[in-house]
């Protein structure tokens, strides 16, 4: 399988080179040259597979022999052996129309572990096999950082630096990152918001000479391996429902910030998984909701919300979707992204908006509605939603008709967001791994938001 850039100026490269390149060297994003098609017969065969077996099949389509199958199997088994649930990503049924896909059974209690346990092991594998230097640089609004650190902490040949927005992540998210004392981990707490952190790392990755000199590697969803790993649970959830006799129209409702998770669902749909609607849920940072409803992509004012991991205005995977929306025309995307730098917005014509709306519906959940949704499901179903999942569930309620079922992706364990949960007067008992964090010392460096300050820290660290 070859990978190419959405902007057309990176020649076809293999899977491992794509993982190592992260952001494409021409500033675009890497995508598979062809989306592999999964036939109805294959879907049937996959229906009884375990999560690990399914992951192996899906990855094989995209890795195409570049990693020997037995090595890939080991990587998959190691990655999902750390999950607390034997099913890895189980589905819980709330009622006949709503099911929750629990993605938080990995080491850091967030869906990011599904991809980042794999990517951490993959980096380690590449480093050993190719003797490559792996210097990870990432940005987080809370969950990616902890998960990426957990995936590579203490691993030989790898260093990781994570930028998080100072005091704009939850306390548990901050502790999960900053209580790690391994020497290969650096946490930079940046004065600014997540968009500032993401902009800085993207600018550093775009400086190809700097990126190569310091061997910078990406763990954010700009890295195509993240997206591929996240497609697996769409298949798995669909099969779990099918095995329970749920035929018919299946929607997925996805709490969305960087457009990575929902793009993985779009990719699964393009591969042949019969997903009916992709329901895009945002909080008050609703650039993507506005895009789906109106066809205008324009960053707005930043809001701090109860669901901080989704406090994002500039969605880094959006370009991948635009690429498919424009018929895989890299020249068009290059021109659109150049113009976006000038205009600060992207407006699509009516025919393209119709295409968007054939796949997606969108709903922006305001703070009070998010809290009401948490209370409602706690009171009526004794099920505690974290605030991000609550946005997905509130959006699912808007768009699930009588003849449909919706799988709402549960992106994190509620114990990570006790600040919001307390506002609805619910006392939760955190898992012991989370409780233990409060007794540990923290290691982080506070920095301003200028690129030069970050570079200074990176150069010292790497």
Ligand X SMILES: N[C@@H](CCOP(=O)(O)O)C(=O)O
| Separation CA 194–CA 198 (nearest Å) | 6
For the bound state, the minimum distance from the C-beta of residue 275 to ligand X, rounded and expressed in Å, comes to: 20
For the bound state, the minimum distance from the C-beta of residue 40 to ligand X, rounded and expressed in Å, comes to: 31
The answer to whether residues 104 and 111 touch, using CB atoms and an 8 Å cutoff, is yes
For the bound state, the minimum distance from the C-beta of residue 221 to ligand X, rounded and expressed in Å, comes to: 3
**112 catalytically annotated:** yes
Closest to ligand X by CB, 149 or 405: 149
| Separation CA 436–CA 413 (nearest Å) | 16
**C-alpha distances out from residue 371 to 98, 159, 299, Å:** 18, 38, 25
Query: For the chain, how are helix, strand and coil distributed in percent, rounded to 5?
Result: 50, 15, 35
For the bound state, the minimum distance from the C-beta of residue 392 to ligand X, rounded and expressed in Å, comes to: 13
Q: At what angle do helices 143-152 and 112-130 cross, to 10 degrees?
A: 40
For the bound state, the minimum distance from the C-beta of residue 244 to ligand X, rounded and expressed in Å, comes to: 30
For the bound state, the minimum distance from the C-beta of residue 148 to ligand X, rounded and expressed in Å, comes to: 8
Phi, psi at 317, each rounded to 5°: -90, 0
Q: Which of 9, 73, 112, 168 is catalytic?
A: 112
Q: How many CB atoms lie within 10 A of CB 76?
A: 25
Closest to ligand X by CB, 311 or 397: 311
Edge to edge, what strands does the sheet with 404-410 contain? 91-93, 98-102, 404-410, 249-255, 275-282, 360-364
Closest to ligand X by CB, 235 or 417: 417
Which residue bears the tokens 């952190």? 197
For the bound state, the minimum distance from the C-beta of residue 404 to ligand X, rounded and expressed in Å, comes to: 27
The answer to whether residues 346 and 322 touch, using CB atoms and an 8 Å cutoff, is yes
Closest to ligand X by CB, 124 or 411: 411
Residues lying near ligand X in the complex (CB under 6 A): 140-145, 220-221, 257-258, 260, 309, 316
| Separation CA 2–CA 32 (nearest Å) | 6
Closest to ligand X by CB, 309 or 334: 309
Sign of CA dihedral 384, 389, 395, 400: negative
Closest to ligand X by CB, 98 or 254: 254
**C-alpha distances out from residue 83 to 13, 62, 179, 246, Å:** 32, 24, 21, 26
Q: Is 375 left (phi over 0), alpha (psi -120 to 50) or beta?
A: alpha
Closest to ligand X by CB, 121 or 400: 121
User: Known catalytic residues?
Assistant: 112
């Amino acid at each position: 399988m070859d990978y190419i850039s959405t902007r057309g100026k990176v020649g076809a490269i293999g899977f491992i080179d794509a993982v190592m390149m992260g952001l494409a060297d021409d500033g675009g994003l890497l995508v598979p040259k062809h989306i592999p098609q999964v036939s109805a017969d294959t879907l049937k065969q996959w229906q009884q597979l375990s999560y690990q077996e399914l992951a192996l099949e899906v990855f094989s389509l995209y890795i195409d022999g570049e990693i020997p199958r037995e090595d890939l199997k080991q990587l998959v088994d190691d990655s999902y052996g750390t999950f607390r649930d034997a099913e890895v990503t189980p589905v819980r049924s709330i009622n006949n129309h709503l099911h929750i896909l629990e993605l938080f059974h990995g080491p850091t209690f967030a869906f990011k572990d599904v991809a980042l346990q794999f990517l951490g092991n993959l980096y380690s594998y590449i480093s050993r096999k190719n003797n490559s230097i792996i210097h990870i640089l990432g940005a987080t609004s809370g969950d990616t950082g902890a998960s990426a650190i957990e995936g590579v902490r203490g691993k030989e040949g790898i260093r990781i630096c994570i930028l998080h927005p100072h005091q704009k992540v939850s306390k548990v998210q901050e502790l999960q990152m900053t209580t790690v004392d391994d020497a290969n981990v650096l946490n930079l707490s940046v004065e600014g918001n997540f968009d500032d952190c993401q902009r800085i790392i993207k600018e550093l990755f775009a400086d190809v000479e700097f990126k190569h000199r310091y061997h910078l590697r990406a763990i954010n969803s700009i890295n195509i391996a993240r997206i591929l790993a996240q497609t697996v649970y769409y298949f798995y959830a669909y099969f779990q429902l099918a095995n329970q006799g749920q035929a018919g129209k299946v929607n997925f409702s996805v709490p969305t910030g960087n457009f990575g998770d929902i793009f993985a669902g779009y990719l699964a749909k393009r591969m042949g998984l019969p997903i009916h609607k992709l329901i895009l849920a945002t909080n008050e940072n609703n650039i993507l909701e506005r895009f789906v409803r109106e066809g205008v992509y324009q960053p707005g004012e930043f809001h701090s919300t109860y669901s901080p991991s989704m406090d994002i205005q500039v969605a880094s995977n959006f370009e991948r979707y635009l690429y498919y929306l424009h018929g895989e025309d890299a020249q068009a995307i290059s021109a659109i992204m150049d113009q976006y730098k000038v205009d600060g917005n992207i407006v699509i014509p009516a025919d393209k908006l119709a295409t968007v709306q054939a796949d997606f519906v969108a709903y922006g959940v305001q703070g009070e509605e998010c809290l009401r949704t948490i209370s409602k499901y706690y009171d009526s179903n004794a099920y505690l939603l974290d605030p991000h999942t609550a946005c997905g569930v509130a959006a699912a309620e808007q768009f699930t008709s009588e003849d449909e079922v919706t799988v709402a992706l549960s992106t994190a364990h509620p114990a990570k967001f006790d600040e919001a949960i307390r506002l609805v007067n619910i006392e939760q008992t955190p898992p012991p791994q989370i409780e233990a964090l409060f007794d540990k010392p923290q290691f982080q460096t506070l920095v301003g938001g200028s690129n030069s300050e970050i570079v200074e820290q990176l150069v010292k660290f790497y």
